[in-house]
Copies of this chain bind each other. A is one copy, B any other.
Amino acid sequence: MTADTRWLDEDEQRTWRAFLTAQRLLFDRLERQLQRDAGLPHAYYEILVRLSEAPDRTLRMSQLADSSLSSRSRLSHAVARLEAAGWVRRRACAEDRRGAFAELTPDGMAKLEESAPGHVEAVRADLFDALDRDQQRVLRDISDTLIAHLSDTAAWPVESDTRADAG
């Protein structure tokens, strides 16, 4: 593959590096805010959020993994820790005995309600306060475009797509 690399031109290079830098500065910051104020990584916070929005504050592990963009493995570890903290409880699944439910406990809900204001404030201060309405609109547009693109596209080049010509 990659007989001829489609290198980035000057302009694309700058765009890419700017995006990379902005993204890192922003998410490092939010990560640290949550870790400092709530003692939680953002991935764990998001698990609590998704559970809080689910019917009965309960989701199957797989659904929770999908909705929080976690791998199965990562979710297992995460829920183990959240369960030890008393914020989430695992329940057996009657219909499918392989399965398991994760349920947000009242303590978990309290934890979330206590952590949310600081986090939301950080998102607003670090992201929204910097962007005007137009920029926000396009950011959403770009994000939606990317989500569609990345959901459609296989994560890595499919073997059978290896052609002789550079197409």
Contact = CB atoms under 8 A, between A and B. Distances in A.
Tell me how many chains of this kind the complex includes: 2
Interface string A6-40: 11100110111011011111111100110010000
A5 B118 CA distance: 8
A12 to B, nearest CB: 6
Interface in A27-71: 27-29, 32-33, 36, 69
Contacts of A131: 142, 145-146
B12 A23 contact: no
A129 B148 CA distance: 12
Given A19-B143, A23-B27, A149-B130, A8 B123 contact: yes
Given A25-B150, A153-B126, A12 B142 contact: no
B128 A8 contact: yes
Given A33-B156, A118-B2, A16 B127 contact: yes
Interface residues of A, number: 59
B146 A6 contact: no
Given A32-B155, A117-B5, A25 B128 contact: no
A142 B125 CA distance: 15
Interface of A: 1-2, 5-8, 11-12, 14-16, 18-19, 21-29, 32-33, 36, 69, 116-118, 120-121, 123-131, 135-136, 138-151, 153, 155-156
